[in-house]
Amino acid sequence: MWRLLAILCLAAVNMLAAATEIRDTIYTGFSGVLFAGRMTIDAPTMTTADGRTVQRWQQTYTITAGVISVDLEPNSTATPAGTSYYVVYRPTSGLAWSERWVVTVSATPLKVSDVRVTTIPTPTVTFPLTQLSPVGAVKGDLIGFGTSWGTFTGGADGQALLKDSSQPRGLRWGTAGQVSSVFGRTGTVTAGSGDYSAFYAALSHAHLIADVTGLQTALDGKSATAHTHTLTREFTFNLGSTTGLMLGNDDDQKQIWWNNLGSTATITKVGCVSDGATWKELRPLGNVSLDWASIGSDVYGYKFIAAVYDGRVYTSANGGATWTETQPAGNVTKSWKYVGGDGDKLFASPNYGRLYTSANGGVTWTERQPAGDVDKSWNALASNGYTIVAGVNGGRLYISTDSGANWTERRPAGDADKYWHSAATNGSKIVVGGGGFTSGRLYISTDSGATWTERQPAGDVNKYWNAAAIDTNSGVKMAVGVSGGRLYTSTDTGANWTERQPAGAVNKYWGVSSDYYGTHLIARAGAESGDNRLYTSADSGVTWTEVKPRGDVITEWTGILWPYASDTPIAWANGGRIYQYVNSGVPSVNLQRDDGTPVNVLASNLSCSAAGATTTSFVSGENGIADGQKVDFVMSTMGGATRRLTLTGTYTVVQ
């Protein structure tokens, strides 16, 4: 009897701790073709319904013949609520995509459609109240956590909590009247000149008192005489991308300040700060991680278009400072595959559907139909704004030389449907890779696709050419990569090739992008584990240096881009962020009054470093800015592509 009871109890425990089986067979959209590739599952940190602690974990599975067989801990009843499994599919052909799973408790196997969710759950953050019981807190106490939970003692009306890393909980009570910062000052702060807008101060005036019986005599000599007010204010100007000697060729672009105060202002101090050399985040949707599918840029790395794999498309016209959602296909979410162009003439393609072009930076869009009025699975895509290359998975290759208005079917591999895997173009010169479902040949055209020549970087063999890049200047420098193979470069339009080894003599899943001259390259070397590394070259691929936008951590980099005429490569991660490398160097700047006489305001040019610099030295008589007059910015010298150069100035006005 006792043995039977023990067996029943053990069975109950096992049933309580049982994982849910996911069993399914998944297909592609191509005539019953089964999915083949890899599937990576990120499991969340949670506590199961039966009280077991599950730590975050990642596992990669190889999927053959479309069969999915995996056992997962149910998270629908776990704590905290709102967790989800992050699942990434990496097919043997094309880009990766991702989805979220919520696994329920089930005694029978579930299919993928049973656990897939279209809206990402939001996890709740909880902690047990038992962590606070030893604190001894009572109603009205303020509780904080540092090395342990505890109350903040003291404190009274008029005191503020200030950051202090030396305190056990990182905070302390300030003295009465003390604040962390007001108008850039700390401690006990009183208002000073320049803290408030000049428009709230009195203009020049006199105080006149009416002649009331006896009052004027009593106040003679005591009323205020006519007087003036001297006000000090500041201006700040955040500069965008600069690639020449001046910010722009017209007043609107290079103007940094306009005196509209009603009287003459005198500039008394000027400062500037440059970005320095660093990787910075671009945040189209704020401080969130997303499945970025593709990013395009103008030649300077200043105007961007970015697409989320299962989401929307966004543009920026100011170096990523602000972003605007644009709707190539209308107000709908799409599985976007590629976006590109030259900043103004844009091109966008979903994974499956129609193609779209814009001639005004994404304000309006036009649907294009290279293959007729039908949806297609688009894969090999490239655009420089004017020439567009679009390949169909299991179909034909189409090329437009007028920004998508007209299209011509091209046949690099003859009159047959092919699986096109990669494309790059500078306009007249085009390189494409394609053929079979997972392998093929490399073809190059020097006449916008009219004629083609097969090239053999890896010899007379079929390869899965999944990466291609070309220099925009002449089109003679190219770089191509094999999925699960090697990286190759050419300096003679593909006639001869050299194997390159950024990551050593090993096979990788490559991605590659080139700058305007083909001198600078950025390459993505992928691994089965999803640990992708990034490498840059400044000598057309001869030597390479690993770069780490996120530090030395495992990152699934899904895309890279080197804007043609800049030194600002871009990389983006699946389920992550967008990063752009910035190296402003030490630009030298000056100011000029916009009065028809280009005379410098500063006595000498000001060198703007990341640490910042200021000057109070001016050309005699040039720092007085008349009412209604403008001040222009002039870049005298520069040591890199400056981003977000911040100019500050202090001026006084007498009223």
Render pLDDT for 125-135 as a digit per residue (tens, 0 to 9): 555 555 555 55
Q: Which of 143-157, 262-276, 280-294 has the lowest mean pLDDT?
A: 143-157
pLDDT of residue 11: 42
Q: How confident is the model at residue 619 (pLDDT cuts 50, 70, 90)?
A: very high
pLDDT of residue 196: 44
Strand partners, 349: 338
CA distance 642 to 620: 29
Using a 10 angstrom Cβ sphere, with 0-12 exposed, 13-18 middle and 19 or more buried, the burial of residue 295 is buried
Residue 426: pLDDT band (50, 70, 90) is: very high
Going through 143-301 in order, the beta strands assigned E by DSSP cover 143-145, 149-151, 161-163, 171-173, 178-182, 185-188, 230-238, 255-258, 265-273, 277-282, 292-297
Mean pLDDT score of the chain: 80
Which of residues 140 and 392 earns the better pLDDT score?
Answer: 392
**Residue 382 — very low, low, confident or very high, per pLDDT cuts 50/70/90?**
very high
How far is residue 211's CA from residue 626's CA, in Å, rounded to a whole number?
A: 39
Q: What are phi and psi of 100, to 5 degrees?
A: -115, 145
Distance (Å, whole) CA 525 – CA 485: 10
Backbone angles phi, psi at 319, to 5 degrees: 70, 20
Mean pLDDT of 540-558: 88
If one compares 217 and 72, the residue with the highest pLDDT of the two is: 72
pLDDT recorded at residue 192: 52
CA-based nearest residue to 72, from 36, 102, 117 = 102
CA dihedral of 590, 591, 592, 594, whole degrees rounded to 10: 140
What was the pLDDT predicted at 655? 55
Read off the pLDDT of residues 483-534 as tens digits, 9 standing for 90 and up.
989 999 999 999 999 999 998 889 998 999 999 899 999 999 987 666 689 9
Cβ neighbours around 206 below 10 Å, total: 9
To which H or E segment does residue 440 belong? strand 440-445
Collapsed DSSP state (helix, strand, coil) of residue 26: coil
pLDDT band at 254 (very low <50, low <70, confident <90, very high): low
423-459 as b/e: b if 16+ CB within 10 A: bbbbeebbbbbbbebbbbbbbbbbebbeebeebebbe
Are the C-beta atoms of 403 and 365 separated by less than 8 Å?
Answer: no
Q: What confidence tens digit (pLDDT) does each residue in 304-352 have?
A: 999 998 899 999 988 888 899 999 999 999 999 999 998 899 999 999 9
Question: How many residues are given for the chain?
Answer: 655
Note the pLDDT of residue 442. Answer: 95
Q: Percent of the chain, pLDDT > 70?
A: 77
Domains of the chain in start order, with CATH, are: 15-117 (2.60.40.3390), 231-276+585-654 (2.60.120), 345-358+375-582 (2.130.10.10)
Instruction: Report whether 153 contacts 168 (CB < 8 A).
Output: no
Q: What's the pLDDT score for residue 210?
A: 47
Query: Which pLDDT score is estimated for 201?
Result: 39
For residue 528, the model assigns a pLDDT of 63
pLDDT at residue 194, as a whole number: 46
pLDDT band at 184 (very low <50, low <70, confident <90, very high): low
Amino acid occupying residue 413: A
Query: Which whole number is the average pLDDT over 560-577?
Result: 83
Contact 482, 458 (CB under 8 A): yes
Q: Is the pLDDT of residue 285 over 60?
A: yes
What three-state secondary structure class fits 213?
A: coil
Q: What count of other Cβ atoms lies within 10 Å of the Cβ of residue 412?
A: 25
Q: What is the pLDDT of residue 51?
A: 87
- DSSP one-letter code for 199: G
Spatial separation of the C-alpha atoms in residues 22 and 72, rounded to whole Å: 7
Beta-sheet strands, E only, within 290-439? 292-297, 304-308, 310-311, 313-316, 324-326, 334-341, 346-350, 352-353, 355-358, 366-368, 376-383, 388-395, 397-400, 408-410, 418-425, 430-435
Separation CA 622–CA 313 (nearest Å): 47
Rounded Cα–Cα distance for residues 295 and 313 (Å): 10
- Measured between alpha carbons, how far is 106 from 115 in angstroms, rounded to an integer? 11
**Residue 331, both tokens:** 């107000």
Longest CA–CA separation in the chain, Å: 117
Both structure tokens of 129: 């109240």
Secondary-structure percent of the chain, ordered helix, strand, coil, rounded to 5: 5, 45, 50
Decide if 330 contacts 356 (C-beta within 8 A): no
According to DSSP, the β-strands at 521-526 and 533-537 are antiparallel
The C-alpha atoms of residue 431 and residue 429 are separated, in whole angstroms, by 7
Cis peptide before 80 (omega within 30 of 0): yes
The secondary structure of residue 460, as a DSSP letter, is S
One-character DSSP codes across 115-151: HEESS---PPP---GGGTGGGT--TT--EEESSSEEE
pLDDT reported for residue 4: 45
- Look at residues 651, 648, 630 and name the one whose alpha carbon lies nearest to residue 273: 648
pLDDT the model gives residue 232: 64
Average pLDDT over residues 56-70: 89
The proportion of the chain whose per-residue pLDDT surpasses 90, expressed as a percent, equals 39
Give me 41's structure tokens. 């599952």
180, pLDDT greater than 80 = no
- What average pLDDT score do residues 279-305 get? 88
